[in-house]
Structure 1
Amino acid sequence: MKKPNMGNNDSTVEDLKSCESHQWYRKFMTECPSGLLSFYEFKKFFGLRNLSETSNAYVEALFTTFDLNDDGFIDFMEYVAALSLVLQGAVHQKLRWYFKLYDIDGSGCIDRDELLLIFKSVDAINGIHDDTKTQEFTNMVFDKIDINGDGELSFEEFMDGVQHDQMLLNMLTQSLDISHIVEKIQGEMMDDT
């Protein structure tokens, strides 16, 4: 059976469910025998150790967006749904997920501080420590898509602005690309067989 290349966006939900589902399930259950992944186990699962406070806040926000039923745990189906979205979700689906991730306080709008925190956290996880550049990027995003100039991005402003600016769409997509983490897990699964 052909193994899908998990590192690109050509993977499908069916790929995850069929030929490798047993490997994904085995990896999940090996790391999390209870079948419920806590935040601590989530960080361990993805090899995220010794994070700064900012990076930890980002990872916690990421965890929360994957916890679809808000019970404080990620079960195997939520895990597969999250990987499916990241690997092959439509642009609209990914943007909806990004908005939820950026809206840290759940207010329905993203302010500059929330966006800046996420961008700083992503940079920290990737080993980049250039606060000036991160601040400039945050300002550029707001200048481009905060249509009414109120200092907050509504869901509609975010969706319209990002979908109509290919450069911004590419930058946001690349900044939250976790396919390298999926590839690492994929490699570990192959080592186990």
Structure 2
Amino acid sequence: MGGNESIEEIVAMENHHWYAKFMKECPSGQLSMYECKKLLGLDNPTDQANTYVETVFNIFDSNKDGFIDFLEFIAAINLVIRGKIDQKLKWYFKLYDADGNGTIDKKELLSIFTAIQAINGNQELTPEEFTNMVFQKIDVNNDGELSLEEFINGVESDENLLEMISKSFDLSNVLKIIQSGRRHSV
């Protein structure tokens, strides 16, 4: 290794890099939904890609002002790049819980997995098979809803499910696919 930089110095340099990149793309200091889609190369997104990007945008817009500012952007980048599995699972749960009631029902999971599959393509299971398998494996009280605790404990205790969810719903992979798909389809 080259220098004697501390972790704090490395993180500060990375944050400076992200700040410069963010301000170059968003001179106002705030990323709107429109700018986000433009940044991702989504001029004419499919309905599923549009829904997914809007859902992700709204989750990262933590103060709900309609913009992602630099602190919200850094939080998103840190989650995607450095997030621990339990942090990512909490984020996935929030993504799946479309109505925000604190539980995921089959309709919500089916809806988001259908959107992801439309973007990702070639999945091993259909959205219906995936949804049924998830509920069969981790809905311990069989009430047709997954609480945050059921979701995290169930996914963490099943190696195959953890890998499948991580691979299917990994934000960085999905965004790369959206970007490359848009650029090549024009």
TM more than 0.5 = yes
> 1:10-89 maps to which residues of 2 (within 5 A)?
15=10, 17-89=11-83
Residue aligning to 1:163: 156
Aligned: 1:95 with 2:83: no
Structure-1 separation of matches of 2:8 and 2:160? 27
The count of aligned residue pairs is 172
Runs of 4+ in 1 over 4 A off after TM superposition: 12-15
SS in structure 2 opposite 1:139?
A: helix
Give the aligned CA root-mean-square deviation in angstroms: 2.6
Asked if the contact 1:13/1:84 (under 8 Å) is kept, the reply is no
Gaps of 5+ in 1: 3-11, 186-193
Contact 2:15 2:74 in 1 (8 A): no
C-alpha distance in 1, partners of 2:15/2:119? Answer: 28
Which one of 107, 113, 133 corresponds to residue 126 of structure 2?
133
Q: 1:14 to 1:116 in 2, by over 3 A?
A: farther
Pair 1:144-2:137 in alignment:
yes
Q: Which runs of 5+ in 2 are unaligned?
A: 180-186
Identity %: 55
Amino acid at match of 1:149: N
What secondary structure does 2:126 align onto? helix
In the alignment, the residues of structure 2 paired with residue 80 and residue 153 of structure 1 have an alpha-carbon distance, to the nearest angstrom, of 29
Describe the SS at the equivalent of 1:50.
coil
Shift of 1:18: 2.9
Instruction: Select the structure that is richer in helix.
Output: 2
CA distance in 1, matches of 2:8, 2:83: 9
Aligned to 1:176: 169
- What SS does the corresponding residue of 2:13 show, helix, strand or coil? coil
Give the Å deviation of 1:22. Answer: 3.5
| Cα distance, 1:24 vs structure 2 | 2.0
Match of 1:191 in 2: none
Structure 1 counterpart of 2:182 = none
1:9 aligned partner: none
Is residue 2:121 matched to residue 1:117? no
What is the alpha-carbon distance in structure 1 between the residues aligned to residue 15 and residue 140 of structure 2? 44
Cα offsets for 1:147-190 (capped at 9, x unmatched): 111211111111111111111111111112233447xx9xxxxx
Q: Cα distance, 1:14 vs. partner? A: 6.4
Q: Does 1:104 align with 2:104?
A: no
- Indicate if the aligned counterparts of 1:54 and 1:117 stay in contact, CA closer than 8 A: no
